[in-house]
Structure 1
Amino acid sequence: MLFDTTLRKELSRTFGATLVVILTIVLTIMLIRTIGQAAGGVIGPQDVVLLLGYTSLGHLPTMLALSLFVAIVVTLGRIYRDSEMAIWSASGVSLSRFVKPVLRTCWPVLVVVGALVLFVWPWGNRNSTDLRDRYQQRSDLSRVTPGVFQTSRDGSRVFFVERETEQSPNARNVFVLTHDGEKESVISARSGRLETHDDGRWLVLESGQRNETDLTTGNRTLSRFETYRVLADERSVQRAGEQPPRATRTVDLMNNPTLKNQAELAWRFGLLLGAGNLLLLGIGLAATNPRRASNWNLLFALLGFIVYYNLINLSQAWIASGRLSLGASLLALHGSMFGVGLALLWWRDHGTTLRWRSARRAAA
């Protein structure tokens, strides 16, 4: 009882501290990247915090798994360095005895990781995609700042408007320069407004003139108009069936087993199975020599974590290309890692005894 309680309390404290550090580092990096996307016009400045929340939820399973892994290695490594493991071993407690209290401490985190990967991950990706699409699908005129020349997304048009009032959607003194490679036109109007139809959003200009120049022949045409309509933005509606696999629900992926959908399922199930395998690997990799001042076991553990998760991404690419099936990939990668974790625990428990017996036979 004392053994379980002491280990679980120390493991919980280490996990909390590790998670705070990892969250701080990752959130800072993602915040800088999100602000850069807002500055580059990929997302709206008002959506920075919301998109940061969706992105953080998407990366939270990996951060939780890494925090658990590091907490196990650090906690058990401290027990080895302080020679507490020698006391537990003398009391008949082997390293495999640590599996039960570790699982009792970590199973709620594994449940959270599973819920985040299977349900929250596609929901967050879907909302992030909608935020980007809504911002990119806005009309060019709606992004114009009154009194400032503004270039369209494709660089083919330049707008200049003045608002009638701050609350009015209409504009006055409208200037539009259009360049399509063959013709260049300059449109100026006294007033303009936006109208939305099924085929897109149109800029309706009133009381102006249009000066068009043919760049191949050099001919110029000047025309005056009372009303003139310019396409400001084509309407593009993304259907639900066109959602990318990462934004599709897990149930829908299973009902439509294409190669890309199976690759996404392998990645989601791989994160959950990988988090469980890391518990066994962390217990086996935590063993260290108390006479050594360095902490190489933590370095090797982090290296193993990076390799393992890169293999998960590699298996996803192989499934998408048709080289592996979903079941074969999960069994080969995660089954082998589970076997490595069990073999490592067995070697930590019986390796010393086998070496001592071999040395005794050699001496005899």
Structure 2
Amino acid sequence: MIAFRYLSRELLITAAAVSAALLVIIMSGRFIKYLAQAAQGALDPSVLLMIMGFRIPGFLQLILPLGLFLGILLAYGRLYLDSEMLVLSATGMSGQQLLLYTLAPAALVALLSGWLSLSLTPQGIVRVTQILNEQSALTEFDTLVPGRFQSMKGGSRVTYSETLSNQRKELGGVFISDRAAPRGSSGAKSSDISVLVAQSGHQELQPDGSRYLILQNGYRYDGTPGQADYRILQYDSYGVLLPKPEPVSSIGSREEALPTAALWGSTQPQHQAELQWRLSIPLLVFVVTFLAVPLSRVNPRQGRFIKLLPAILLYMAYLALLIFIRGALYKGRLPAAIGLWWVHGLFFALGLLLLYQERLHLSFSRRRAARVPA
């Protein structure tokens, strides 16, 4: 029992540290993407943390199996390197007993991964999709930030407001630059630019649902950069149609947002593929445990990282094959009865082969020695 607690503690601490590092890396990259959309006015900065919070279950369901896999390799590799595994083996702990000890924390990780995969991740996708749909319905006026040049329409339109009222109704010190299509013959590199400046402005909703920014007391400049043919127009009131920001793509497919209960009993290939994928996440945890325990066995003279790269490549092949077969199952190219299960069976058999390879090699050597005449 002491050995079990010691091994479980070492394994869980290492797996948690690896999973936390991977989560920070993945969330940082995703947060930068959303932050860029917020800077362009496609997202309200106030919803960024909410979006990232709902995305965490989807990240964790794939990070936890990898974190456990690397945790076993690193934790047990250190024990082999420090000859602690040799001491445990001398006290009577076999490879099968080590595997049984490892399956206990693996079961805990599998339960957490299954909860994320079957329940929290679909709910998070639904909430993020709702937020993104709400954001895609916002106009340029709704996402305007005072004191910042804001790019819209793929960078062809730049808007600036010096001040903005708390109710987002009145603007002060307005600047709008809009680049039109190239003028002249095909292939011309110059393009027309319209620049609007105004002392103030406000939003106005028309009966047809369109929104206009009504600018007051300003100028409009039309022309081509590098040419002295600008037109200047002074106005007391000028209306500018407010375009909607570019639609924000939702995350995941429609099936990924469905609750797990809606997938049970469905005969649609898409539903079968999604259900098997969700069930594969906790099953993946147990299979990688059977792979990682024998792969963590290292020679102290070789170092603890000698098998790390081949093990990671093996895990990547496992996950890539699951994703590939999931796509084939989604398109109806494979029957649901076969689905993803044969992939798990293949790598489970590989894990058993790695686990018993030393015993098989020793048995084969003994048979060869017995056949040699004295």
1:262 alignment counterpart? 272
Instruction: Report the secondary structure of 2:339's partner residue.
Output: helix
- Asked if 2 retains the 8 angstrom alpha-carbon contact of 1:72 and 1:283, the reply is yes
Counting only pairs closer than 5 Å after superposition, residues 115-130 of structure 1 correspond to structure 2 as: 115-130=115-130
Counting only pairs closer than 5 Å after superposition, residues 189-268 of structure 1 correspond to structure 2 as: 192-194=201-203, 200-203=209-212, 205=214, 231-233=241-243, 244-254=254-264, 257-268=267-278
2:137 alignment counterpart? 137
Instruction: Report the secondary structure of 1:328's partner residue.
Output: coil
One-letter code aligned to 1:319: L
Is 318-327 or 187-196 further displaced after alignment?
187-196
One-letter code aligned to 2:109: V
- Quickly say closer, same or farther: Cα 1:159–1:77, change in 2 above 3 A: closer
Cα offset, 1:349, TM superposition: 3.6
Deviations 1:88-124 (A, max 9, x none): 5566543122232222233222100100111111222
1:113 alignment counterpart? 113
Correspondence 1:326 to 2:336: yes
- Quickly say closer, same or farther: Cα 1:351–1:112, change in 2 above 3 A: same
Q: TM-score, normalised by structure 2?
A: 0.74
2:59 alignment counterpart? 59
Cα offset, 1:196, TM superposition: 5.7
Cα offset, 1:277, TM superposition: 0.6
Residues in 1 aligned to 2:69 and 2:341: alpha-carbon distance in whole angstroms: 22
Deviations 1:331-357 (A, max 9, x none): 210122222223333334443233233
One-letter code aligned to 1:6: A
- Quickly say closer, same or farther: Cα 1:149–1:94, change in 2 above 3 A: closer
Unaligned runs of 5+ in 1: 214-219
Is 46-55 or 169-178 further displaced after alignment?
169-178
Equivalent pairs: percent with the same residue?
27
Correspondence 1:335 to 2:332: no
Instruction: Report the secondary structure of 1:203's partner residue.
Output: strand
Instruction: Report the secondary structure of 2:288's partner residue.
Output: helix
Residues in 2 aligned to 1:155 and 1:223: alpha-carbon distance in whole angstroms: 26
- Asked if 2 retains the 8 angstrom alpha-carbon contact of 1:176 and 1:188, the reply is yes
Instruction: Report the secondary structure of 2:203's partner residue.
Output: strand
Deviations 1:223-279 (A, max 9, x none): 9998x87653569999x9x96333332233446554444333333222221111111
- Which of 13, 28, 39 is matched with 1:16 structurally? 13
Instruction: Report the secondary structure of 1:322's partner residue.
Output: coil
Aligned residues: 355
1:311 alignment counterpart? 321
2:31 alignment counterpart? 34
- Which of 258, 277, 289 is matched with 2:287 structurally? 277
Is 339-348 or 57-66 further displaced after alignment?
339-348
- Quickly say closer, same or farther: Cα 1:350–1:159, change in 2 above 3 A: closer
- Asked if 2 retains the 8 angstrom alpha-carbon contact of 1:284 and 1:348, the reply is no
Deviations 1:51-98 (A, max 9, x none): 333333322122221222233334444454455555655665431222
Instruction: Report the secondary structure of 2:372's partner residue.
Output: helix
One-letter code aligned to 2:211: W
Residues in 1 aligned to 2:372 and 2:179: alpha-carbon distance in whole angstroms: 88
- Quickly say closer, same or farther: Cα 1:186–1:45, change in 2 above 3 A: closer
1:286 alignment counterpart? 296
- Asked if 1 retains the 8 angstrom alpha-carbon contact of 2:18 and 2:67, the reply is no
Instruction: Report the secondary structure of 1:194's partner residue.
Output: strand
Deviations 1:114-148 (A, max 9, x none): 00111111222333333334334310122334576
2:186 alignment counterpart? none
Is 23-32 or 191-200 further displaced after alignment?
191-200
- Asked if 1 retains the 8 angstrom alpha-carbon contact of 2:140 and 2:242, the reply is yes
Residues in 2 aligned to 1:316 and 1:212: alpha-carbon distance in whole angstroms: 56
- Quickly say closer, same or farther: Cα 1:35–1:84, change in 2 above 3 A: closer
Residues in 2 aligned to 1:327 and 1:111: alpha-carbon distance in whole angstroms: 24
Residues in 2 aligned to 1:48 and 1:235: alpha-carbon distance in whole angstroms: 17
Deviations 1:17-36 (A, max 9, x none): 34224413540453254134
Cα offset, 1:283, TM superposition: 2.0
- Quickly say closer, same or farther: Cα 1:52–1:89, change in 2 above 3 A: same
- Asked if 2 retains the 8 angstrom alpha-carbon contact of 1:140 and 1:153, the reply is no
Residues in 2 aligned to 1:92 and 1:245: alpha-carbon distance in whole angstroms: 50
- Asked if 1 retains the 8 angstrom alpha-carbon contact of 2:196 and 2:219, the reply is yes
One-letter code aligned to 2:13: G
Instruction: Report the secondary structure of 2:333's partner residue.
Output: coil
Residues in 2 aligned to 1:164 and 1:303: alpha-carbon distance in whole angstroms: 54
